[in-house]
Amino acid sequence: MNDPEQLKVLLVIPLYNHAETVDSVVRNGLATGYTVLVVDDGSTDDGFERIAELDCLKLKLTPNRGKGVAILAAARFAADNNFHAILTLDADGQHDPLEAGKLIREAEKKASPTIIIGARQMIQDSVPRSSHFGRKFSNFWVRLECGCDLSDTQSGMRLYPVRELLLLNLTRSRFDFEVEVLVKAVWAGVDVESVDVSVYYPPAGERVSHFDKIIDNWRLTRLHSELVCRHLLPFPHKQLVAKEERTQKTLIVKNPWQTLKNFCREGASPFWLAVAVWFGIFLGALPLIGVHTIVIIYVAYRFHLNKVAAVAASQFCMPPLVPVLCIETGYFLRTGQFLLDLSWEKWLLEVHYRIWDWFLGSLIIGPLLGLFGAAVVYQVARRFAGGSVDG
Position 159 scores a pLDDT of 98
Lowest mean pLDDT across 156-165, 240-249, 285-294: 240-249
Residue 81 phi, psi (nearest 5): -115, 20
Are 98 and 109 contacting, i.e. CB atoms less than 8 angstroms apart? no
Model confidence at 130: pLDDT above 80: no
Topology of domain 4-232 in CATH is Spore Coat Polysaccharide Biosynthesis Protein SpsA; Chain A (3.90.550)
333 HSE (CA, 13 A, CB side): 18
Q: Give residue 207's pLDDT.
A: 62
Query: pLDDT confidence of 363, banded at 50, 70, 90?
Result: very high
Distance CA 287, CA 285 (A): 7
Per-residue pLDDT band at 133 (split at 50, 70, 90):
confident
**In the predicted model, what is the mean pLDDT of residues 361-375?**
95
Note the pLDDT tens digit of each residue in 284-324. 999 998 899 999 999 998 988 988 889 999 999 988 899 99
3 state DSSP class of 146: helix
| pLDDT confidence of residue 256 | 52
* Residue 238, pLDDT above cutoff 90: no
Q: Name the percent of the chain in helix, strand, coil, to the closest 5.
A: 50, 10, 35
Taking only the tens place, the pLDDT of each residue in 113-127 is 999 999 998 776 667
- How far, in whole angstroms, is CA 199 from its chain's centroid? 21
Residue 1 has pLDDT above 70, yes or no: no
In Å, what is the CA distance from 21 to each residue of 66, 97, 118? 19, 13, 20
How large a percentage of the chain has pLDDT more than 90?
Answer: 60
87 pLDDT above the threshold of 90: yes
**Sign, CA torsion 59/100/147/213:** negative
| DSSP code, position 18 | -
Q: What would you report as the CA-atom Rg of the chain, rounded to the nearest whole angstrom?
A: 25
**Distance from C-alpha of 363 to C-alpha of 327, rounded to nearest angstrom:** 11
Specify the range with the lowest mean pLDDT, choosing from 50-64, 114-128, 242-256: 242-256
- HEC letters along 76-88: HHHHHCCCCEEEE
Average pLDDT over every residue of 162-178: 94
Of 122, 206, 194, give the one whose Cα is nearest residue 157: 194
The pLDDT of residue 385: 63
Sign of the CA dihedral running 226, 232, 233, 237: positive
Confidence (pLDDT) at 381? 80
Write down the domain spans for the chain. 4-232, 256-384
Peptide bond before residue 63 is cis, with ω within 30 degrees of 0:
yes
Calculate mean pLDDT across residues 4-28: 89
pLDDT over 90 at 12, yes or no: yes
Asked if the model's pLDDT at residue 4 lies above 50, the reply is no
Residue 5: which residues within 8 A CB-CB, separation 6 or more? 108
If you average pLDDT over every residue of the chain, what do you get?
A: 86
Residues in Cβ contact with 327 at an 8 Å cutoff, skipping those fewer than 6 apart: 339, 354, 357, 358, 361
Least confident of 24-33, 103-112, 137-146, 337-346: 337-346
| pLDDT over 60 at 262, yes or no | no
**What φ, ψ does residue 234 adopt, rounded to 5°?**
-80, 5
Q: Within 13 Å and on the Cβ side, how many CA atoms surround 75?
A: 18
Tell which residue, 179, 169, 113, 108, has the closest CA to residue 146: 179
Q: Which pLDDT score is estimated for 247?
A: 47
pLDDT average, residue stretch 358-383: 92
Looking at residue 350, what is its pLDDT?
A: 86
Distances (CA, A) of 285 to 258, 273, 301, 323, 326: 30, 18, 19, 7, 8
Q: How far apart are CA 189 and CA 197, in angstroms?
A: 25
Q: What does each C-alpha distance from 195 to 8, 68, 150, 155 come to in angstroms?
A: 19, 22, 10, 11
Kind of pairing, strands 158-161 and 85-88? Answer: antiparallel
Q: Please answer whether residues 390 and 269 qualify as being in contact, where contact means their C-beta atoms are separated by less than 8 angstroms.
A: yes
Q: Is the pLDDT of residue 213 over 90?
A: no
Instruction: Give the tens place of pLDDT for each residue, 92-120.
Output: 888 999 999 999 999 999 989 999 999 99
CB atoms closer than 10 angstroms to residue 118: 27
> 184-198, 203-217, 272-286, 311-325: which range is least confident on average?
203-217
Question: Residue 251: pLDDT above 90?
Answer: no
What pLDDT does 203 receive? 65
- Extract the runs of DSSP E, i.e. beta strands, from the chain: 9-15, 35-41, 57-61, 85-88, 114-120, 158-161, 191-197
